[in-house]
Amino acid sequence: MLWQKIEINILYQDEHYIFIHKPAAIASVPERGNPSAANVQEWLKQQYPKANLCHRLDKETSGVLVAAQHIDAHRELSYLFHQRLVNKYYHALVKGVHHIDEPVVINLPLNINNPTKVKIDKQNGVEAITAIISIAHFRHYTLLECKPITGRTHQIRVHLAYYGTPIIGDYLYGGEDIFLSQIKRKKYKISVDEEERPLNKRFQLHAQRIRFENSFGSYEVSAPYPKDFEIILKQLQKYDK
């Protein structure tokens, strides 16, 4: 079985919830066109037969996912999600220097009828709200923290693209690759017959933290950056300050 090849870490668990560190390139649930591919839901069923995911992350997004250990825990957290009482924080790397020192709220409705590519639709779209703030600046790039108030498909990705800050590697919404030659400049050498590969292998979006409180307790769990995300940030800290 493919799920046996997945390496998934547990960030925290108790008798009510399991906080999973989802790797990039692994879907949260079975994919429509490839239902037999490895996914977190199938892995979860094998490891914790009674547990169920409470939300999802895009396939290429890494970070915190929460599963409930029993039906009451699932019901309570689902209610909190519905009432917008779950605080989720994502980190996104974008091109350009953006000094967003106070939270900016992007309130733009989305047309999610086509889940493969979501669009801004001010006439007929569903409500979508994201708060963003800068948390690190480099010479050519910015690390943003994004807090989605609503939880629409591709919400952060579309909102950042519309704001003029598409996520690095998010080709679907206008994001570009990041190359070492762009940040090392004179220090970078490559042979004429060699093609430089981008530092990013996916779009650089990470579900860094989640926080909520209900009758089962007060929870706040963070996921460290995966290796690919961390390597890029270290390169920026070294060469793009």
Query: Which residues are tagged catalytic?
Result: 58
DSSP letter, residue 15:
S
Q: Please, what sign has the CA dihedral across residues 207, 225, 119, 52?
A: negative
Question: CA triplet 163, 166, 158: central angle to 5 degrees?
Answer: 65
At which residue do the structure tokens 């790039």 appear? Answer: 141
Cα separation of 212 and 88, whole Å?
9
Cα separation of 136 and 89, whole Å?
15
Tokens describing residue 41: 């839901």
DSSP letter, residue 173:
G
183 Cβ contact list (under 8 Å, min separation 6): 138, 139, 140, 235, 236, 239, 240
